[in-house]
């Protein structure tokens, strides 16, 4: 390409082209390194049988236990589904509320706008606060590192860790959700605060408002709509995570789903799946209604 | 004056939905924490406390250091043993699963997005006319959208668990497939939104000079939507790596597999090391994807 | 009602030059504004009007020269004193700086954020006292938007928002009112009405009012004293009756970037 020969920056089209080519190459490499056979992507003899059972289950989810597998003192299937759903919701809500506290605290501390002054402040004053500023930078950077660490470990891995440390208690499930979700919320919150339009901040500063006042009146309410919409979206994700935590023995929906699947009771599996889908769908509907109210453009 | 204040306050515009939601959410949260549904502080008592202390002071300390005291060289040779033995290979496999899955998800959403976009999947694409739509098209859109909602509402972990039963163990397809389906549905929805938000003018012009639907897609829609779509794509790549790590715990050979194995053997020191390695590759993927997004935006 | 020393009122700018990098936004600027005076900066865009206003509340500091507010050098002050002064300099920024998803009452209450400490700054956001609300309502009534007291600002029209910004400035109990292009978002009829309102308020409260305006015809008709700025220099500074067509020609002569409209 002549433009590149001249040392010009690649155009946006050729940049995309390069990325796409790179991606396809990487995918090819990944394929080869995993040693995948295309045929394995389709179910074999036994797999087809299971798939058939699975698809039949989708059409007729179970309303009572299949072939009387449950112990005599087990509650009705639908009661169990309801209870598992309730537990899922409880873990998600507890984890999310803790994550919200972490997210708000670290989100503020991780936001540039919490630390820096109006850029058009007089230079004289800017110089006077140099040592204070160094401490601020230190806190800011360490909070950001902490956020990255919290986020980079998956909630299931946190759960595994906490299971080893604390054992099977509902509190460990709640923390397992709260840590990575808190980190993610903190990251997104701080970005939202930093990307907020600055006009009201400038005008409040110009009428003598102090740092906290400017933050609380000029920045926070501005970002609050987007922040709450995002938090609600994360709550939906937390419900899914909480459901999966059941795979590790917590009494959420994943626990029973796994049991039923291992017993090849796919009609029960679908009952749990449909229940989870209904819950997530309901939350999604609620959040989209709320978003329209809260985030006005 | 005070009467007027009161009447103004009473007639202020407010949203029942917002207030109700805040109330429900707040009350539920308070109930959850106070009713004993969550065993707060439970770990501070008796057995659990011993468990916690043992984990922190003993089990999480690298095994050779436990008897022979702290020594950096010994710790390193232990860590190298774990990493060389399977850690690095598993990390590579995790990245490979994520990469392949996200590319397959991209290809899948390439087909799904136009079918779900209201301005493409209609009898008279890219035109202003709205009403008088044929039922076939609407049905198609509804089916595609519903399918995508189901696919993205089922957690990847559950999908992989079910695929494992169908496809059998010993290869990475269940993990790749679960990630590809889930992310394909998410990218499909985001892609459909991108397509619907495209400037209609140029597309209408193309259509006006007699281009077929497919020609408009290839010559107008895809090139125009690609930029924004790729931003979403790389954003999802990061999550893919996170999930790929974990899916191993179901028995697919990624990092999660060895984490699970170490856990089963109660080798908590090794488990911690591998979780740290997982965090490292997630951070690397995060960095890569944000670089790719910036490269797309500004060419830096 | 007023603080011991009373709010600031008069300005003296001596030999002020403001530089952004290599270029100067204002050059050797001299100006005295007496208490209770009404002054409008006029001129093409980029002439230095906003810069001149920024000097008056210390958001900008001159590269050379001094800005005296009732004898105090605005740029040599301790942070606390500057804040105290700023809290009594009413400001209506060009972009208004209102917070859309707060209510009108809260936006107006934010006018007194410069006073008091941390708690005093946070408390009114969650709980406004009845007396404060009554005060806000009185101001809003005077501006004709009392009924909107508890509405969200993003549900208001452009003209109503402009009034909320004015109300916030008045709630500061200022001695000086600074208004940067207060008419830029309004149609001609509303412009005249709003400018009239500002002038009335300034007269009744005996405020010093300093505005920047691009509509020179309107300024010439209503505002007492006009300061014509062009490329950072004062072209003329006279009472409105004495501003001649010749002055205006010099203000907008070839090379000026804008035309009055």
pLDDT tens column, B47-99: 778 888 888 887 777 877 777 777 778 888 888 888 888 888 899 999 999 99
State whether C61 and A208 contact (CB < 8 Å). Answer: no
CA B31 to chain C, closest CA, distance in angstroms equals 24
In DSSP notation, A226-276 reads: HHHHHHHHHHHHHHHHHHHHGGGT-SSHHHHHHHHHHTT-HHHHHHHHHHH
- Identify the pLDDT of residue C261: 36
Average pLDDT over residues A107-121: 70
- Identify the pLDDT of residue C254: 57
| The overall pTM is greater than 0.90 | no
How many Å is the maximal CA-CA distance in chain A? 82
- Identify the pLDDT of residue B45: 76
Give the one of C133, C134, C151 whose C-beta lies nearest to B13's C-beta. C151
Q: Is the pLDDT of residue C257 over 50?
A: no
CA A247 to chain B, closest CA, distance in angstroms equals 9
Q: Looking at the complex, does the CB of residue B10 fall below 8 Å from at least one CB of chain C?
A: no
Residue recorded with tokens 């920045």: A219
Angle at B205 between CA B201 and CA B208, to 5 degrees: 140
State whether B1 and C147 contact (CB < 8 Å). Answer: no
Strand partners, C73: C68
- Identify the pLDDT of residue A68: 65
Q: Looking at the complex, does the CB of residue A30 fall below 8 Å from at least one CB of chain B?
A: yes
Average pLDDT over residues C191-210: 90
pLDDT in tens, C51-98: 888 888 888 888 888 888 888 888 888 888 888 888 889 999 988 889
How many CA atoms are closer than 13 Å to the CA of C122, on its beta-carbon side?
8
Average pLDDT over residues C164-191: 89
How many Å is the maximal CA-CA distance in chain B? 81
Look at residue B151 and tell me if it is in a domain: yes
**Domain spanning C36-58+80-251: which CATH class is it, in words?**
alpha beta
Closest C-alpha among A150, A28, C76 to residue B96: A28
Confidence of residue A251 (pLDDT cuts 50, 70, 90): very high
Confidence of residue A276 (pLDDT cuts 50, 70, 90): very high
- Specify the CATH number for the domain of residue B218: 1.10.3720.10
**Radius of gyration of chain A measured on its C-alpha atoms:** 26
Give the one of A120, A209, A224 whose C-beta lies nearest to C101's C-beta. A224
Nearest CA in chain A to B289: A19
Average pLDDT over residues A73-100: 91
Name C62's Cβ contacts closer than 8 Å, sequence gap at least 6.
C16, C17, C18, C26, C55, C75
Q: How many CB pairs under 8 A join A and B?
A: 204
Q: How far apart are CA B201 and CA A72, in angstroms?
A: 67
Instruction: Report whether C183 contacts C191 (CB < 8 A).
Output: yes
- Identify the pLDDT of residue B275: 93
pLDDT above 70: percentage of residues in chain C: 95
- Identify the pLDDT of residue C212: 92
Look at residue A118 and tell me if it is in a domain: yes
Nearest CA in chain A to C155: A296
Average pLDDT over residues A50-68: 83
Helix residue ranges, H only, C172-209: 188-205
Confidence of residue B121 (pLDDT cuts 50, 70, 90): confident
- Identify the pLDDT of residue A142: 93
- Which range of residues forms the domain containing residue A172? 74-294
Instruction: Report whether A190 contacts A107 (CB < 8 A).
Output: yes
Residue recorded with tokens 């990475």: B172
Average pLDDT over residues C161-167: 92
In DSSP notation, C128-145 reads: --HHHHHHHHHHHHHTT-
Q: Is the pLDDT of residue B130 over 70?
A: no
Domain tally, chain A: 1
Q: Looking at the complex, does the CB of residue A122 fall below 8 Å from at least one CB of chain B?
A: no
Contact list in B for residue A277 (CB cut-off 8 A) is 150, 153-154
Closest C-alpha among C107, C193, C205 to residue C155: C107
State whether A200 and C98 contact (CB < 8 Å). Answer: yes
Burial code (b: 16+ CB inside 10 Å, e: under 16) for B227-257 equals ebbbbbbbbbbbbbbbbbbbbbbbbbbbbbb
How many Å is the maximal CA-CA distance in chain C? 57
Residue recorded with tokens 């978002």: C185
Average pLDDT over residues B250-260: 89
**Radius of gyration of chain C measured on its C-alpha atoms:** 18
Angle at A134 between CA A129 and CA A137, to 5 degrees: 120
Domain tally, chain B: 1
Q: How many CB pairs under 8 A join B and C?
A: 26
Contact list in C for residue A125 (CB cut-off 8 A) is 79
Neighbors of chain C with 3 or more C-beta pairs under 8 Å: A, B
Q: Which two tokens stand for residue B56?
A: 């922190």
Average pLDDT over residues A98-110: 94
Tell me the average pLDDT of chain A.
84
pLDDT in tens, C215-255: 888 888 888 899 998 888 888 898 988 888 888 888 887 55
Q: Is the pLDDT of residue B247 over 80?
A: yes
Give the one of B1, B2, B8 whose C-beta lies nearest to C150's C-beta. B8
In DSSP notation, A164-217 reads: HHH-S-HHHHHHHHHHHHHHHHHHHHHHHHHTS--HHHHHHHHTT--HHHHIII
pLDDT in tens, A148-177: 999 999 999 999 999 888 888 888 999 999
Q: Looking at the complex, does the CB of residue C140 fall below 8 Å from at least one CB of chain B?
A: no
Contact list in C for residue A229 (CB cut-off 8 A) is none
Q: Is the pLDDT of residue B1 over 80?
A: no
Q: How far apart are CA C35 and CA C38, in angstroms?
A: 9
């Amino acid at each position: 390409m002549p433009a590149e020969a001249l040392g010009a920056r690649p155009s946006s089209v050729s940049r995309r082209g390069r990325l796409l080519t790179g991606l396809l190459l990487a995918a090819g490499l990944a394929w080869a390194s995993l040693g995948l056979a295309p045929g394995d992507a389709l179910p074999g003899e036994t797999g087809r049988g299971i798939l058939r059972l699975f698809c039949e289950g989708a059409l007729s989810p179970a309303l009572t236990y299949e072939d009387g597998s449950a112990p005599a003192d087990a509650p009705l299937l639908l009661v169990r589904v309801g209870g598992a759903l309730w537990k899922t919701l409880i873990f998600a809500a507890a984890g999310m509320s803790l994550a919200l506290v972490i997210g708000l605290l670290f989100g503020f501390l991780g936001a540039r706008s919490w630390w820096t002054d109006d850029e058009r402040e007089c230079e004289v004053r800017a110089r006077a606060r140099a040592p204070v500023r160094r401490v601020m930078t230190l806190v800011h950077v360490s909070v950001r590192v902490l956020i990255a660490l919290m986020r980079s470990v998956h909630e299931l891995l946190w759960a595994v860790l906490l299971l080893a440390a604390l054992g099977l208690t509902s509190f460990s499930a709640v923390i397992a959700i709260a840590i990575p979700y808190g980190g993610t919320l903190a990251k997104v919150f701080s970005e939202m605060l930093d990307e907020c339009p600055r006009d009201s901040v400038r005008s409040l500063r110009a009428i003598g408002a102090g740092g906290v006042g400017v933050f609380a009146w000029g920045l926070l309410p501005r970002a609050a709509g987007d922040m709450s919409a995002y938090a609600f979206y994360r709550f939906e994700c937390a419900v899914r995570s909480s459901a999966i935590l059941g795979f590790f023995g917590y009494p959420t929906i994943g626990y029973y789903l796994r049991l039923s699947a291992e017993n090849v009771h796919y009609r029960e599996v679908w009952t749990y799946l449909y229940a989870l889908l209904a819950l997530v769908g309901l939350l999604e509907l609620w959040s989209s209604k709320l978003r329209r109210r809260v985030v006005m453009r | 004056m005070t009467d007027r204040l009161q009447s103004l306050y009473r007639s202020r515009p407010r949203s029942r939905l917002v207030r109700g939601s805040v109330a429900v959410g707040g009350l539920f949260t308070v109930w959850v924490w106070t009713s004993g549904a969550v065993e707060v502080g439970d770990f501070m008592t008796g057995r659990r406390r011993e468990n916690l202390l043992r984990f922190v002071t003993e089990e999480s300390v690298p095994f050779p250091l436990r008897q022979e005291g702290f020594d950096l060289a010994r710790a390193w040779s232990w860590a190298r043993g774990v990493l060389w033995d399977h850690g690095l290979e598993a990390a590579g496999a995790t990245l490979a699963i994520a990469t392949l899955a996200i590319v397959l998800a991209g290809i899948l959403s390439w087909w799904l997005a136009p079918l779900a976009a209201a301005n493409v999947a209609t009898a008279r694409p890219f035109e202003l006319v709205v009403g008088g739509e044929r039922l076939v098209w609407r049905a198609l859109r509804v089916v595609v959208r519903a399918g995508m909602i189901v696919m993205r509402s089922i957690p990847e972990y559950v999908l992989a668990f079910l695929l494992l039963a169908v496809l059998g163990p010993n290869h990475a397809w269940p993990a790749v497939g679960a990630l590809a389906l889930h992310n394909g549905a998410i990218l499909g929805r985001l892609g459909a939104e991108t397509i619907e938000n495209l400037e209609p003018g140029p597309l209408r012009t193309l259509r006006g000079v007699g281009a077929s639907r497919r020609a408009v897609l290839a010559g107008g829609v895809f090139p125009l939507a690609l930029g924004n779509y790729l931003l979403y794509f790389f954003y999802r790549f990061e999550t893919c790596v996170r999930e790929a790590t974990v899916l191993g715990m179901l028995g697919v050979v990624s990092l999660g597999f060895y984490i699970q194995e170490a856990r089963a053997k109660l080798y908590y020191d090794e488990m911690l090391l591998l979780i740290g390695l997982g965090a490292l590759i997630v951070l690397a993927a995060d960095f890569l994807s944000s670089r790719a997004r910036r490269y797309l935006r500004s060419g830096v | 009602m007023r603080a011991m020393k009373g709010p600031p009122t008069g300005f003296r700018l001596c030999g002020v030059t403001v530089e952004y990098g290599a270029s100067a936004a204002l050059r050797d600027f001299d100006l005295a504004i007496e208490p209770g005076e009404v002054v409008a900066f006029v001129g093409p865009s980029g002439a230095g009007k906003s810069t001149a206003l920024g000097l008056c509340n210390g958001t900008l500091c001159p590269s050379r020269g001094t800005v005296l507010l009732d004898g105090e050098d605005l740029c040599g002050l301790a942070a606390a004193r500057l804040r105290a002064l700023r809290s009594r300099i009413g400001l209506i920024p060009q972009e208004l700086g209102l917070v859309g998803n707060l209510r009108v009452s809260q936006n107006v209450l934010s006018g007194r954020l410069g006073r008091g400490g941390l708690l005093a700054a946070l408390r009114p956001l969650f709980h406004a006292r009845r007396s404060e609300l009554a005060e806000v309502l009185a101001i809003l009534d005077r501006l004709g938007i009392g009924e909107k007291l508890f509405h969200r600002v993003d549900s208001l029209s452009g003209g109503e928002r402009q009034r909320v910004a004015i109300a916030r400035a008045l709630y500061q109990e200022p001695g000086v009112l600074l208004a940067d292009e207060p008419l830029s978002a309004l149609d001609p009829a509303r412009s005249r009405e709003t400018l009239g309102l500002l002038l009335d308020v300034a007269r009744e409260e005996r405020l010093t009012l300093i505005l920047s305006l691009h509509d020179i015809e309107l300024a010439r008709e209503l505002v007492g004293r006009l300061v014509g700025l062009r490329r950072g220099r004062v072209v003329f500074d006279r009472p409105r009756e004495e501003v001649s067509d010749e002055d205006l020609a010099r203000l907008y002569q070839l090379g000026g970037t804008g035309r009055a409209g």
